[in-house]
Structure 1
Amino acid sequence: MSVFVPGHITGFFNIENHDSKLKNGSCGVGFLLSKGVSTTIQKSDSFDFEVNQGDDTVIREVLDIFNLDNDDFKVIQDIQLPIGAGFGTSAASALSLSLALNEFLDLNYSMELCGQIAHMAEVNLGAGLGDVIAQTGHGLILRTKPGAPGIGEIKSYSHDIYVAWKTFGPIETSEIIRDPKHKKIISEVGVKYLEMFEEDPTLENFIAFSARFSEETKLMTDEVKNQIDYFNSMDNILGSSMAMLGNTVFAFAYDEDAFKNMDVEGLHIDKLNNNGIIYD
């Protein structure tokens, strides 16, 4: 049994902490990529796992929450995006594993319950607050109410558009989302742009508000700023900003050739994912 969950990049957000882990989360706007995390469950004599990058931290956390009596299976994860660089890989890992286990073991859990297990794993690990519920949607995604699937709320918008990204490495998400100073600034600026986006949820506003958010929160590094300036100097680029939270730049264009003609080392070209989760 295999389940693919797309990667998710957030452009801007605000943190909304709650005593309940299922209500703890964030509101924001982001988008899905065609690459993400694929989890395959196979029959085995004893529990085993195989991950192409990273370790088994997320896998172990999800399995602990499931509290399974049997462990006669093998977990294989193909993580197709950089870890810790703002692509929601830990959330995609947790959600794809939850969904795959549900199918493989015939647990008959709902999508919402599987999503809640993945969300709890994310909160427990300090890895993220809003990626899981966003990854249940498609295209460009507005998170209007914080929390896990079935508790939080999202709106999805489809767009036929190309996206390119370049990463300069990871940012420690847990240090930022747990730091009072960062949380205050992020939430104040995030609320402002969320309200503006909800009034006019266009792709152009998403790009513009994302750029302003990254500047006003002072989360943008010099290398990210230089890359954004380069993207924005090109005529065929709609705009560029920083992935939250990662030392990563993303840009949008209607024409794939706008990116192909660029001389940018380590540039990856993708399309906005309007399909979402895939079962195989």
Structure 2
Amino acid sequence: MSLSVFIPAHITGFFSIENNSDPLKNGSCGAGFLLDRGVKTTINDSSEFKFSANQGSDIVINEVLKYFDIEDSFEITQDIQLPIGAGFGTSAASALSLSLALNEFFDYGYSYNECGQIAHKSEVSLGGGLGDVIAQTGSGMVLRTKPGAPGVGEIKSFDENLFIATKFFGEIDTASIIRDPEHKKRISLNGHECLKKFKKNSSVWNFLKLSLEFSQNTKLMTSEVLSLVNNFNLCDDILGSSMAMLGNTVFAFADNKSTFKKLNIEGMNIDKLYTKRQL
């Protein structure tokens, strides 16, 4: 028997940290979007326990497995389709896809939200993204209006027919930023302001504008990211560009794939916005 679950990557444009002693309520508010690449977890029958992945380690896997009392032998394979530590929410996608796959493969009977809560608690425990899991249960562009795990927090999705270009310049340690008092204060102050403005005008253009303001005002943008963001924002056919939170990664939006392809930027990837329904 073999079973696979795919979860899309998630990039945050701006956010506020909303800490709570209850792991299920601990999280963030903000806005981001989903890509049509992400993490695919496959579980197969096996005579012994095995784990393999095209990148990364088994840290997230072991954290999720703590919530499942499994005596049978099986094999876990993960296809992580984007760089880890780059602001793509790959850790959350890894946790959520594994939780859902284990639940179905071994017939645990957990609800979708309960699987999401296992993934969210695993992320909180490891100091990963505070809002990626619940966002990855959405579609297209995702607004996180109430912090927490699936079934606790609240999101609103906006489906758009858009292409996303990304370029990765190196890893950023998410935990070191979201646990630093100065970073937390600056992030939440600016995140709340951006969230308030976006709720008044939930357009793609406003999302891109606020994401750029957030990355500049929080002083998280590196010089190499800033240089490419500025170049993107000078192009008439590009809707806007900013920095992935939290990753040393640039993202840009356009209506057509050809807009990015003609730029011939080395190391740039082009994805489509992930939506649960075809646009």
The aligned residue for residue 265 of structure 2 is 264
Contact 1:92 1:132 in 2 (8 A): yes
Kindly report the root-mean-square deviation, in angstroms, between the aligned alpha carbons of the 2 structures: 0.8
Corresponding residue of 2:33:
31
- Mind listing any 5+ residue stretches in structure 2 that lack a counterpart? none
Normalising by structure 2, we get a TM-score of: 0.97
Size of the aligned set, in residue pairs, is 275
1:45 shift after superposition: 1.5
Distance apart, 1:47 and its partner CA: 1.3
Give the Cα–Cα distance (whole angstroms) in 2 for the partners of residues 251 and 161 of structure 1. 10
Distance 1:39 1:163 in 2: 24
Q: Percent identity?
A: 61
Question: Does the residue aligned with 2:228 lie in a helix, a strand or coil?
Answer: helix
User: Corresponding residue for 1:110?
Assistant: 111
In 2, the alpha carbon distance for the partners of 1:195 and 1:157 equals 17
1:131 maps onto 2:132 in alignment = yes
Where do 5+ consecutive residues of structure 1 fail to align?
Answer: none
Distance 1:200 1:69 in 2: 47
- In the TM superposition, what are the counterparts of 1:67-216 in structure 2 within 5 Å? 68-216=69-217
> Which amino acid counterpart does residue 259 of structure 1 have in structure 2?
F
Matched, 1:3 2:5: yes
Check whether the contact 1:16–1:27 (CA below 8 A) recurs between aligned residues: yes
- 1:51 corresponds to which residue? 53
Deviations 1:195-219 (A, max 9, x none): 1101111111100000000000000
Q: Which runs of 4+ in 1 moved over 3 A?
A: none
Q: Distance in 2 between matches of 1:123 and 1:5?
A: 18
The amino acid that maps onto 1:26 is: S
Structure 1 position 256, deviation (Å): 1.4
CA distance in 2, matches of 1:28, 1:139: 14
Deviations 1:62-110 (A, max 9, x none): 00122x1414111000000000000000000000000000000011100
The 2-side partners of 1:270 and 1:18 are apart by 34
